[in-house]
């Protein structure tokens, strides 16, 4: 699980933060409600998770709330990994 958190956190940093961005993102940082990730750009994160962890995240569960922190994202992925 911890390894998953690190992988997701690193993806978020690479995919969504600008190189010169000062924001420090942790496992609990709000991503969507803070505006770091918007609902339009969330799609690449969902796709990355589905490919990396070989899961299908149903649209009704891939909500902005469920994607708001690295912790909640990992919980959702884990649930679908069975």
Residues that bind another protein (CB under 8 A): 16, 18, 34-35, 38, 40-41, 43-44, 47
In the complex, minimum distance from the CB of residue 32 to another protein, in angstroms, rounded to a whole number: 10
In the complex, minimum distance from the CB of residue 79 to another protein, in angstroms, rounded to a whole number: 25
54 Rama class: left (phi>0) / alpha (psi -120 to 50) / beta: left
Alpha-carbon gap, residue 69 to 66, rounded angstroms: 8
The CA-based angle 15-20-71, given to 5 degrees, is 45
Question: Which C-beta is closer to another protein: that of 2 or that of 14?
Answer: 14
Question: Which C-beta is closer to another protein: that of 32 or that of 77?
Answer: 32
Question: Which C-beta is closer to another protein: that of 6 or that of 21?
Answer: 21
36, two tokens: 């770091």
């Amino acid at each position: 699980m911890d390894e998953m958190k690190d992988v997701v956190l690193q993806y978020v940093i690479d995919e969504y933060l600008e190189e010169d961005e000062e924001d420090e993102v942790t496992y609990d940082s709000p991503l969507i409600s803070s505006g770091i990730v918007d609902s339009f750009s969330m799609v690449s994160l969902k796709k990355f998770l589905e490919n990396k962890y070989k899961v299908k995240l149903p649209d009704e569960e891939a909500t902005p709330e469920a994607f708001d922190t690295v912790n909640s994202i990992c919980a959702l992925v884990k649930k679908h990994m069975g």
